[in-house]
Structure 1
Amino acid sequence: MPPDKARRMRISATVMLVAMAAIFFGSHQVLGVNPAWGYVNAFAEAAMVGGLADWFAVTALFRHPLGLPIPHTAIIPRNKDRIADTMAEFLRSNFLTPVVVARRMREMNLAQAAGDYLATRGDTEQGRIRAGAGQLLVELLESLDPDRLGLQVKAGLARQAKRLDIAPLLGRVLETAIADNRHQPLIDSFIRWAGVALEDNEEMVREMVQARANALIRWTGLDEKLANSVLSGLYRLLAEIHVDPDHRVRIKAAEALTSLAHDLQHDAAMRAKVEQMKDDLLSNPAVSDWWMGVWERLRHALIDMLRNPDRVMSGQIGHSLAELGETLQTDTNLQVQINRFARRSLVGLVTRYGEQIVSLVSNTVKSWDADTITMRIERAVGRDLQFIRINGTLVGGLVGLSLHFLTEVM
C-alpha cells in the first residue's frame, strides 16, 4: 500500500473525529434552544466515543497510544517473534507439505495461467498482492547465496530433466512448427549461414577443387575456372533456394524434418539415442560451468523483470512472450507436459527444502527490528484499519442517535 494513500485515510479519520468533538461541544451549548440539537449532540457524543475507542484499538496494534506504556498495547512489536513463528507454521501447514502442494497443483492449470498473463501484456494494472509477491521474490533472490542457489536449481533441474522423456516433446514441438509453417525461417537462417560460410572460405574451396583436379586440367589452367564454376554454382543454388519457397531442396528439408518429428515420437531407437545424448550432455562438466553463468544472468534478468514488469512486457521481447502465451493458451498437450513438470518439480522442492523455506521466513521476520515490522505491516493494512476508525465513528453516532430517540419516546 503506497504510504500517501494510508496517510490520507488516517488524516480523514482524524478529521472526522475532530469534527465530531467540535459538533459535540458546540451543540452542548445550545441544547435548550431546540429539541433537535439533542439528537445532534447525542450523535456527535457517541460518534466521538466510538472514534476514540477505535483509534485506541488501531494504534495499540502498532505502538503505545500517546506514548503511554499502557498494558496490552504495541502488540505487534512486542510479539514479532510469535508472529514470525505463526507465519511459519501457517506456511508449513497450508502450503509447504507435499500432499497439499500435489493436491492444489492438480487443481491448477499453471501453463494456461502463464499463457493468459503473457498474452495480455497490455494490461499494466498491478494489484497489491501481485506487486507484493513480486517484491518478496526480489528480496528472496537478492538475499540468498547466488552460487549455492544456482547449484540447487541446477541439481533440481538435472533430476527433473533425467525423468523427462524429452524425445516425444521435441517431436511434438517440431511437428507443430512444421504444421504452422514455422520451419521456413529456420531454413532461411541456415541458407544465410551457408552463404556467409561459403564466402568466408572461398579460398579453401578453390584449393580443394584444384587439389582434386588431374594434372592435365592444372597444366591447361582450367582448374581455376573449374573452381570459379563450382563456387558460382553453389552461390546460385543457395540464391534459388532462398527466393523460391517451393524449391525441391526446401521440400526435401521439410520431408526430413517431418520424418525426424515422427521418429522422435514413435521410433524407440531414435528416442533411446536422444535420451543418451541428453544424459551425456547433463553429465558434461562444461555444461555445469555454462549453466552457472546462465543462472546468474537469469537471476539478474528475473529481478529486473519483477521490478520493472511494464518495461519488460513491451517491445520485441513482449511480442515474443505474447506469442508464447498464445501457444500456452491453446496447446493442451504442451499444457499437460508443463503442468506435470511444474507439479513434480514443486513437490520435490517442498519435500527437500520445505523446512528450510519455513525457517527462512521465520528467521527473516525475527531479524527485523520492531520499527521495521511495524512499518511493513502498517503499510500493508494501514488504509483498511483507518476504515475501521471511520466506520466506528459513524456506527457509534448512529447507535447514540438511536438511544437518544428511544429515551425521548419512552
Structure 2
Amino acid sequence: MKAEPVPDPLPASADSQKIAALRRTKFVATSALVLCVAVFAAAKLMQASYPWLGYVAAFAEAATIGGLADWYAVVALFKRPLGLPIPHTAIIPENRERIADNLGRFIETNFLSEGPVREKLNEVDFASLVADWLSDPQRSQGLSRFVARLVPKTLAAVDQSGLRGFVTQRVVEQVNRIEVAPLAADFLAAFTEDRKHQKIFDELTRAIERFLKDETALETLRDKIRAELPSVFNLFRADAYLLKRIVNSAGTLLEQARKDKNHPLRHEFDAFFSRFINKLRNSKDYARRAERMKQDLLARPQFRELADDMWGSFKHFIEQDSQAENSLTRKHLSGMFVEIGRHLAEDPAIRADMNRGFVVALASFVESQKSGVSAFIADQVKRWDLTQLTRVIEINIGRDLQYIRFNGMAIGGLAGLALYIFERTFLTN
C-alpha cells in the first residue's frame, strides 16, 4: 500500500512556530537534565567537606534518574531511543494499524452513535435555513436557472430511456380500468348543480333561431312541406304560409324560453339531463356503450399520434423557452420558489415537520454509513507516511510531552530528597 502524505491542518507559518517552540522546550529540558548531572557530580565531590551537600546530591541524583526515565518514555513514543531495538519502543509507528482501527472505532462509537447525532441535528433549524434561502429572489432565480437547464436534458433522457413509452402504457392501462359512464354521470351531476347546463339550452335556442333564419335551410323546409301537401294546396302557396307560421311560432317560443328562467321548456331540459345522468349511473346498456366508445378511442392510431404531438410540442416549448432571455419557465419557477420560502417561513407547523424529517433522514444516513466512515478513517491513517505522521503528532503534542521531563525531574528530585531525609533521620545511627 502506497503511503500518502499526512494532511497538514495548519499553515506553514504555524508549523514553523510550533517546531521552533518544540526545539526550545527540548533544549531547555535537556539543559536541565545536564544541569542535574553536573550538580550531582559537584555535590558528591564536595560532600566530604560540606555534609549538607548530601541533600543537594540526593535531589540531583533522583532528578537525573526521573529526567532520564521520562526522556526515554517520551522518545519511545516516536522512535527507538538511541536507535536501540528495545521492545515496546517506537510505539506510534509500530502500532499504526492498531491505532488507526481504534481511532475509527472511537469516532464511530462516541461521535456517530444515534443519540449524539440526533441531539446535534435537533439543534439545527433546517427548514428555516431552506425558507431563508428560497425567500431571497436572487437565489431563487439562480435555482430556477439551474432547474430550467436540467428540464430539457431530463426530457431528452426520458425520450432515450423509453420512460415515455412506459408511462404512456401505464396511463392507457389506468384509463382502461376507469368506468366511463359513472365518471361521466358524476361530471354532469356536478355540472348541473349550479344550472350551468342551462347555458347549453340558451346556445341551442340561438342555434335553432339561426337555422330558422338561414335561407338555404328555409328553402329545404319549404320543399319538404310542398312534397307532403296535396297539389291543390301548392297552387295557393300554402307551403309558404305554413313555413312562415312554423318559423314565427318556433322563433317566438324559443325567444320566450330564453328570456323566461322558469319556462316549461327549461324544466323539460332539466328533466332530460336528470334522466340521462340516471341512465349513465344505472343502465348497463349505457355502460357498455360508453365502454365501447372508450375502447374505440384508445384503439385509434390518431390517439397515439395526438399524445406524441402533445409531448413533442411540450418538449419543443420547454427547450425553446429555457434558452430565451425572458423565459416564462424560469420566471414562474423563480416566483414559485420565493412563494414556497415565504409560506414556509410563516408556517411553524410545516417547519417542525420538515425538521423532523431532516433529522430522521440524516440520522438514518449517518447510522447506515458510520461503519464506512470508521473504516475510511482507519484506512486513511494506515496509508499515511510514518515519518510524516510521527512528525505531525510530535509537532502538535511534543512540546507538552517535554514538560513531562520537567515534571519527572522535579518529582524525582523531591522523592529522592525525601528518601534521603528519611534515611538520615531513621536509618542512620
Indicate the TM-score class for this superposition, using the shorter chain for normalisation: 0.3 to 0.5
> What TM-score does the superposition give when structure 2 sets the normalisation length?
0.40
Say which one has the larger Rg: 2
